[in-house]
Chains A and B, each alone.
Chain A
């Protein structure tokens, strides 16, 4: 390992980006996505790291200093709940306020009849997504925001002022955090930018999953039109927020595209067309996407194989990783595949054994990044994450 921190950073960056190009670096890169684990490790509560992002940054830097990771996210406890409270967003359960201080923040989906977007709102969303979000959606999801036409209030005005300024503060802090990771521990900020799948955002933040499932049968053409109306906006936001140097990918966590939420037929009709269009457009702009396939995605692999070579890094959660490697390993770098329940309940020997199996199965020719199957929360045992970090350093040399 180099003594000079910048030299170490450059070595890790080269290792990480070579793997993402589906090439063979000097050794397998290690890029764990660690959320509330950082709190447990650094001696903070979930409330500490959710509500005070400086503590989350500090805990991340402590982990980066004490584990030999090539890359990680500057703050995987992404939602700063101080910001969401300033805007007065209703849909978060905040640790220390709505939840015990040692529980991770939660997104609370309302009952179907109270969905943030009603079943008759599709035309308004399709005609003008941005206008709909400001005029209809935001007043519904934020306690202090009043709808157009209603008397304005000081709290309404403050929601925008505090929300806007807090966002600037947070993103400025994230940029500084990335720089501190580079200069203090030589750790690469693993991803940049913001992207969601149109179908997912309708399910998560607008109609709710149950409401959207009913719409698939009652008004399927409206669902498709809404996905198509949102797609260019989600592409635009991803492009505006991507790494300007095009070295690290845009993170894309996908929620409802896998089995059993959608059948393959529904995936092909509703989910895939706009997702594929966005990913191809990003690829055309030189932007790679971290395709974080949460859940069981293997039934959809034939669609994923349609994407341009190296347009994505395919992250494996519950799918059979060797099957993924056979289907798309010649096209894309693969990451993940170390089960979270193993990291929570297994032993370091168990972890080493599974890491060896994954390395032997999918990483022989490069194009693999070591990581857990899903984001690690506070149930991950430190000794198991240590094993997942140290084993590939010994066994993952090329």
Chain B
């Protein structure tokens, strides 16, 4: 295998930021902060299911 295929949800992601952003009202404050924290907490949801699959 040279390069992996693209899957609907990229690795590390359950609800992509771009999808979540569409649901939000216009961000009037620090958009990068909102994005960074969303991605951090979203990755926990990602790890949860893969921990179930791989570890438990």
Chain A residues proximal to chain B, CB less than 8 Å: 78-80, 83-84, 87, 89, 126-131, 133-134, 137-138, 141, 160, 163-164, 167, 194-196, 201, 205, 225, 228-229, 231-237, 240-241, 273-274, 276-277
Contact = CB atoms under 8 A, between A and B. Distances in A.
B5 A201 contact: no
B55 interface: yes
A133 B11 contact: no
Contacts of A130: 7, 9, 13-14, 46, 49-50
A128 B54 contact: no
A234 B54 contact: yes
Nearest to A238: B54
Given A83-B56, A133-B53, A194-B55, A163 B48 contact: yes
Interface of B: 1-2, 4-5, 7-9, 11-14, 43-44, 46-56
Query: Which of B8, B44, B47, B56: most chain A Cβ within 10 A?
Result: B56
Contact of B49 (A134, A196, A240): A134
B52 A87 contact: yes
A237 B47 contact: yes
Closest 5 A-B residue pairs measured CB to CB?
A236-B11, A128-B8, A232-B4, A273-B1, A130-B9
A240 B47 contact: yes
Given A87-B56, A194-B54, A240-B47, A131 B5 contact: no
A167 B4 CA distance: 29
A232 B8 contact: no
Given A128-B8, A131-B8, A240-B43, A233 B56 contact: no
Nearest to A206: B53
A228 B54 contact: no
18 contacts: A87-B56, A89-B56, A126-B7, A128-B9, A129-B7, A129-B9, A130-B50, A133-B49, A133-B50, A194-B54, A194-B55, A229-B4, A229-B5, A233-B7, A234-B50, A236-B11, A236-B12, A237-B47
Contact of A240 (B7, B12, B52): B12
B40 to A, nearest CB: 11
Instruction: Provide the main secondary structure of the chain A interface.
Output: helix
Contacts of B47: 237, 240-241
Contact of A164 (B1, B12, B48): B48
Given A128-B7, A167-B48, A232-B7, 18 more contacts: A79-B55, A126-B5, A128-B8, A130-B13, A131-B8, A164-B44, A196-B54, A201-B53, A205-B53, A229-B4, A229-B5, A229-B7, A232-B11, A233-B7, A235-B11, A237-B54, A241-B47, A277-B1
A93 to B, nearest CB: 14
Contacts of A277: 1-2, 4
Nearest to A227: B1
Given A233-B11, A237-B50, A225 B56 contact: no
B55 to A, nearest CB: 5
Contacts of A131: 8-9
A164 B48 CA distance: 7
A192 B11 CA distance: 20
A361 to B, nearest CB: 34
A274 B1 contact: yes
Contacts of B50: 130, 133, 194, 233-234, 237
Contact of A228 (B4, B11, B43, B48): B4
Nearest to B13: A130
Contacts of A126: 5, 7
Contacts of A84: 56
B14 to A, nearest CB: 6
B55 A138 contact: no
A89 to B, nearest CB: 7
Given A167-B51, A237-B54, A240-B47, A127 B1 contact: no
Given A131-B8, A236-B11, A138 B1 contact: no
A267 B33 CA distance: 46
A192 to B, nearest CB: 13
Contacts of A163: 48, 52
A214 B30 CA distance: 53
